[in-house]
Amino acid sequence: MIRILIADDHPVVRNGLKQMISEQGDMEVAGEVTNGDELMAHLRQELPDVVLCDMSMPGRSGIDLIKAIKAQWPRLPLLVLSVHEDDMYAVRTIKAGAMGYVTKSSPSEQLLAAIRRVASGRLYINEDVAEKLALQVIGGDQLPHTELSDREHQVFIMLAEGLTVSEIAKELHLSVKTISTHKTNIMQKMNWTNMAELIRYAIEHNLVNIPSSGPRSSDKR
């Protein structure tokens, strides 16, 4: 049996995942947590076969959480489940130590295949992500935003989705000053002068999904 620990702060998502997993003859839910701190605490008590982890949870999350987990349990298979369609977001998670990346819009069959693959010790990534990883290794041409740091990239995506500096600071549990500094660095590195340019770039490169009503300011990503 593949024992899976689910980490997601949305009850509806967790319930859906538990139902899907319970219908599989070779899988079972080993537990569920709602944030990064709970996840780390659970892992200190008991290790599952696979961690199925949302990228956007309260407190420690995203790339920072992946790195923290891999630093303590380097051989633990970690499969990321995210709403972000950006292939470079997937590339960053793989480079941080995740063994797979699946978007929440993917069919259940794809997610189940990903769980089985990472449980067997193999990577689960699509062709586009594999190509971008290869280009980074050989030094191929990269889009400017790939040069941002992991934290800058995270803040960049959140800004592009319409969150304010204060909202980002609250969600990432960082100070407003720190997020403002990241924003300034992003604008300078990308040679942007205003938020319209930032949002336009994100949309042109399919880095975010902007609803028809415009950027959102408080939705869960």
Which residue, among 86, 91, 83, 93, has the nearest Cα to 51 in the 3D structure? 93
Does the pLDDT at position 174 exceed 90? no
Asked whether residue 143 carries a pLDDT value surpassing 60, the answer given is: yes
In this predicted structure, the answer to whether residue 159 has a pLDDT above a threshold of 70 is yes
What local confidence, expressed as pLDDT, does residue 177 receive? 94
Q: How far apart are CA 12 and CA 216, in angstroms?
A: 21
Q: Backbone phi, then psi, for 143, in 5-degree steps?
A: -70, 150
- Domain 2-136 part of CATH 3.90.1170.40: no
CA 80 to CA 116: how far, in whole Å?
14
pLDDT (0 to 100) of residue 57: 83
CATH class of 144-204: mainly alpha
Name the pLDDT band for 30 (thresholds 50, 70, 90): very high
Nearest to 28 by CA among 43, 42, 48: 48
Percent of the chain with pLDDT over 70: 87
122 vs 129: CA distance, rounded Å: 15
Tokens describing residue 125: 């990534």
Lowest mean pLDDT among 12-26, 168-182, 185-199, 203-217: 203-217
Burial of 167 (0-12, 13-18, 19+ CB in 10 A): middle
C-alpha atoms less than 13 angstroms from C-alpha of 88 in its C-beta half-sphere: 21
**CA–CA separation, 126 vs 206, rounded Å?**
16
Q: Which of 79-83, 126-130, 178-182 has the highest mean pLDDT?
A: 178-182
Q: Which amino acid does the sequence have at 213?
A: S
Report the alpha-carbon distance of residue 174 to residue 100 in Å, rounded.
27
Predicted pLDDT of residue 140: 54
Q: Is 8 left (phi over 0), alpha (psi -120 to 50) or beta?
A: beta
Q: Where are the domains of the chain?
A: 2-136, 144-204
**Rg over CA atoms, the chain:** 17
